[in-house]
Structure formats: structure tokens, C-alpha cells
């Protein structure tokens, strides 16, 4: 099994690499998250937006599986599928979903907004897609899984129980349980042809020598355990989430590819040590078109942070790196890279857990010369300007992992393979 994971705070361009790799694989799998993720893939001038579905669907020979660890909002599942098919993508028989997936209901989305409101000024910047509340239901063992849909009496009992509990917690918000039961009765029959036992399916594929690619959503710094808690998502976005979200043991995992932007971005609240709130940050945002696929929100931008990348590499054990959007740096005469923090008078080279410490941190930068020319037409590493090559090697030497792919533009063809 090969795995593609985000190294930073998401939006690194994982979907594009998955799309390129999917040409040589048989099964593409999502292992965690929900439709709070967002990938954009440009193929032959057509822009495909993925949120919950695996972006391996772009490859017509590839089977795509929504794995057990994903939380699924079924109306959004079908809406996304219809959008892709309306753009000429034939997904018939190529999309499967685990019977162990937990379901995101509309009441989860309503509650998501209420919980964010309760947090007030310290809000985490949720997408309000109901992902966190759905994972809360899962962790409190009151969640509803896909297989429950096919036992109507059990499904009804579970839905009435969980909604009643939310009413007790948040008051009687507007939510029509009777209409929801009717809606899900129809959705269940529509979903039935897609549903599989994904654990058995994936292990059978492995025994048959099929090539499996796991597509991580979000990124390591949004991991529930290892990210900037509580400004994180509600699932394990690192390598651990691959095993727990799919039922695949660590011994079956081969390549772990980390996708890192050549600078840093994040969406929503939370610490971001190398953030630039000046004209340089705005320039990165404008040149890099840094606005969210799922939400349209402007992303916060800053220089590359090697403290983050080093930490991410420790946790996920990357075997190679895909450095994306390197072309965005074409317009800068000099480029800064964060190499350490100073906290309470001490130099720190790994990412700290305590956000109060991070608030007081001074970021220590190294300044590298820019290359001030377009790299969009470069198709090999040797064609890159000398200073651009040095920038890539500087990153490699620091984290101790080879850069195997370099993104030089938005299209499928704009990727240098080393």
C-alpha cells in the first residue's frame, strides 16, 4: 500500500499527486475525514473538485473506495458524484463505500455551528460540515453506521435516541425527525449498490497483488493527537489514521509520500508561527490563488516552516516528498525559511505541544536568494534555475528525505519527477 499524506495544515495539493499516481494503481482509498476536505484536479482543461470522494476516480481504470474511517454525509456524497458525472466522468461501478462508515446527519451540521458559537472568540474555524460532531457521536458510541441503514427498525431507534440527546443538550432546534427517516429510507436503497465490507475487499485486493493508494485528507498539523490542538480536525490525519481508518496493518504499508507546499498556508484559527500578515503574505495568497476549495475562505499564508516539516516527517515517516507550488515563489527576490523557534530564551527545533509557548515564540529564519524567473515550462530538475535547485536541496538536507516530485503549475503535466 502506498500512502499520500499532507505535511502541513492541508491544501498542499495532494489530489494532483494522487491523480498522477492513480494511473498506475488499481484501488484508490480515502481513510478519514469527510466532505470538509477539498482537492482540485485539472485534467485536459477540466477542473474537478473533490471533497469526500477519492480523486482516483479521474482514472477510468481505478476503483475508488470510501474507507471505514471516513464520516459520510449521504446527500453530499450523491451531490458530489452527480457533479463529477455531469462533467463527463464515468463513475459507474468504480465507487464503493465501507459498511462501517459513520453517517453525518444534518443535525450534526446544526450542532457544529452551535458548538462553534459556544467557543466564542476562541473558535477553531470549523467548516460547519458536521464532521466534529459526527466523530463525537462515534467516540461516544452513539453514532449510526452505514450498515444500520439496512435495518429500518434499528436505524429509526438509533436516530430518535441520538436526536433526543442533542435536543437535551442544545434545546429543541429545528429538525424534522419524521422527514429525515423518510429521506434516509430512500437514500439507503440508493446507496445499497455502493456498499461493501471494505476490510475484506482491501485485504483480498492485497492478496491478489493489486496496487492500492491511500489518499489522506487534511494534514498532519490538523491531526487530533499530533496537530495544533484544539485547532485541529476530529480525525487522525497522519499515518496512524491509515491503519485505523482502513483496517490495514503497518506491515502492509510501503511508500509514505508527504506532500508539502513550497511555502506554508492554513485555514481557520490556530497558531501559525511563520504567518505573514503584510504585503508579502498577500502576494503569496494572490499569486498562489490561496482560497479554499470547500469553503472559498482566503487562506493564511507564510514562509516555509521547516520546524513543522521536520516534526511532520518524524510522526509520519515519509519515504519521499512532493514539493508543490514551487512556481509561486518565482516572483520573490529573496525567500525566507523558518528553521527554529526561540521560546523562553531557548532555541527549539521541534514543534511544541503548548500553544501558549507558541504564542510567545520568535521564529528564526534563514534567507535564501530567489530565482526571479518562471519555472512553469521546466520539465526536469536540471532545467530549474540554480537558486531554485538550491532551495529544494536545502529542504532535503534539513529533513533528510528526498524530494521526488516538484509542482510547477496547476495542470497534471506541471510536475517534475526526479
Report, as residue numbers or ranges, the catalytic residues.
Answer: 11, 39
Whole-number Å distance between alpha carbons of 393 and 401: 10
Q: Answer for the pair 260, 309: CB distance below 8 angstroms, yes or no.
A: yes
Strand-pair partners of 103 = 72
Return the beta strands (E) in 250-333 as ranges: 256-261, 264-266, 300-302, 304-305, 320-324
Q: Answer for the pair 13, 325: CB distance below 8 angstroms, yes or no.
A: yes
What is the DSSP annotation of 143-199?
--BGGGGGSHHHHHHHHHHHHHHHHHHH---S--HHHHHHHHHHHHHHHGGGEE-HH
Name the pairing type of β-strands 2-6 and 256-261: parallel
CA atoms within 13 A on the CB side of 122: 7
b/e for 290-306, b at 16 or more Cβ within 10 A? bebebbeeebbbbbbbb
In Å, how far are 89, 252, 370, 393, 398 from 402, measured between CA atoms? 34, 22, 21, 9, 10
**Radius of gyration for the chain, computed over Cα atoms and rounded to the nearest angstrom:** 22
Angle at 35 between CA 33 and CA 40, to 5 degrees: 105
Amino acid at each position: 500500500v502506498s500512502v499520500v499524506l499532507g505535511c502541513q495544515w492541508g491544501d498542499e495539493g495532494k489530489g494532483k499527486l494522487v491523480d498522477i499516481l492513480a494511473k498506475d494503481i488499481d484501488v484508490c482509498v480515502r481513510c478519514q475525514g469527510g466532505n470538509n476536505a477539498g482537492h482540485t484536479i485539472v485534467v485536459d482543461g477540466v477542473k474537478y473538485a473533490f471533497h469526500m470522494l477519492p480523486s482516483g476516480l479521474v482514472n477510468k481504470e481505478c476503483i475508488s473506495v470510501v474507507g471505514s474511517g471516513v464520516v459520510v454525509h449521504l446527500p453530499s456524497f450523491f451531490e458530489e458524484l452527480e457533479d463529477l458525472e455531469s462533467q463527463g466522468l464515468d463513475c459507474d461501478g468504480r465507487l464503493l463505500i465501507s459498511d462501517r462508515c459513520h453517517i453525518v446527519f444534518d443535525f450534526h451540521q446544526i450542532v457544529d455551528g452551535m458548538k462553534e458559537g459556544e467557543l466564542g472568540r476562541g473558535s477553531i474555524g470549523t467548516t460547519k460540515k458536521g464532521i466534529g460532531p459526527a466523530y463525537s457521536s462515534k467516540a461516544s458510541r452513539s453514532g449510526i453506521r452505514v450498515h444500520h441503514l439496512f435495518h429500518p427498525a434499528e436505524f429509526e431507534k438509533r436516530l430518535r435516541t441520538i436526536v433526543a440527546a442533542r435536543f437535551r443538550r442544545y434545546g429543541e432546534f429545528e429538525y424534522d425527525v419524521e422527514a429525515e427517516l423518510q429521506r434516509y429510507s430512500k437514500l439507503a436503497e440508493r446507496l445499497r449498490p455502493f456498499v461493501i465490507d471494505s476490510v475484506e475487499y482491501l485485504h483480498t485486493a492485497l492478496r491478489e497483488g493489486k496496487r492500492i493508494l491511500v489518499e489522506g485528507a487534511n494534514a498532519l498539523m490538523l491531526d487530533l493527537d499530533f496537530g495544533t490542538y484544539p485547532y485541529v480536525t476530529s480525525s487522525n490525519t497522519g499515518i496512524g489514521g491509515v491503519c485505523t481508518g482502513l483496517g490495514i496493518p503497518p506491515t502492509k504499508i510501503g511508500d509514505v509520500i508527504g506532500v508539502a507546499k513550497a511555502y506554508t498556508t492554513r485555514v481557520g484559527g490556530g497558531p501559525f508561527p511563520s504567518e505573514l500578515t503584510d504585503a508579502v503574505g498577500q502576494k503569496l495568497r494572490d499569486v498562489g490563488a490561496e482560497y479554499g476549495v470547500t469553503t472559498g475562505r482566503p487562506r493564511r499564508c507564510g514562509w516555509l516552516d521547516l520546524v513543522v516539516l521536520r516534526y511532520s516527517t518524524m510522526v509520519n515517516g515519509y519515504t519521499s516528498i512532493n514539493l508543490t507550488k514551487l512556481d509561486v515563489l518565482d516572483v520573490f527576490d529573496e525567500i525566507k525559511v523558518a528553521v527554529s523557534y526561540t521560546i523562553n530564551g531557548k532555541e527549539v527545533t521541534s514543534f511544541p505541544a503548548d500553544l501558549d509557548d507558541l504564542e510567545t515564540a520568535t521564529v528564526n529564519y534563514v534567507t535564501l536568494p530567489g530565482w526571479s524567473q518562471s519555472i512553469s515550462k521546466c520539465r526536469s530538475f536540471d532545467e530549474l534555475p540554480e537558486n531554485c535547485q538550491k532551495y529544494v536541496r536545502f529542504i532535503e538536507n534539513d529533513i533528510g528525505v528526498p524530494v521526488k516530485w516538484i509542482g510547477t503549475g496547476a495542470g497534471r503535466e506541471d510536475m517534475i519527477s526526479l
